[in-house]
């Protein structure tokens, strides 16, 4: 139990580091889903990889620049279908 309290104390004491750790963990999880999806994701990885990174990595800055993070993640979310369509329709 003291180790768990020490871990939580460390995370509270270093919010930027804990947010960075969360962002990296989410990015790793999402990228593993992209690369191991099989036939679930039908688009190109050239679209899915940047979208995954742009939706997860900015979370490291969520306490310092929350409006920037929300704007970037929202723009990435709304722009990803059109990017996928553009890549899929390229000759």
Structure confidence at residue 29 as a pLDDT band (50, 70, 90): very high
Judge contact between 55 and 74, C-beta under 8 A: no
Its sign, for the CA torsion 90, 87, 89, 74, is negative
**What does the pLDDT look like over 77-89, one tens digit per residue?**
887 666 556 555 5
Distance of CA 49 to the CA centre of its chain: 10
| Mean pLDDT to the nearest integer, 5-22 | 84
Q: Closest Cα to residue 19, out of 59, 54, 52?
A: 59
Q: Closest Cα to residue 55, out of 78, 84, 85?
A: 78
First to last CA, the chain: 59
Domain boundary assignment for the chain: 2-88
Quote the pLDDT of residue 68.
92
**What does the pLDDT look like over 34-83, one tens digit per residue?**
888 877 777 778 888 888 999 999 999 998 999 999 998 888 888 766 65
């Amino acid at each position: 139990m003291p180790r768990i309290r020490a871990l939580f104390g460390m995370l509270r004491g270093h919010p930027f580091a804990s947010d960075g750790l969360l962002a990296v963990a989410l990015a790793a999880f999402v990228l593993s889903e992209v690369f191991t999806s099989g036939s679930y994701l039908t688009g190109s990885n050239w679209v899915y990889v940047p979208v995954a990174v742009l939706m997860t990595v900015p979370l490291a800055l969520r306490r310092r620049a929350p409006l920037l993070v929300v704007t970037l993640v929202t723009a990435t979310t709304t722009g990803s279908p059109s990017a996928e369509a553009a890549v899929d329709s390229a000759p």
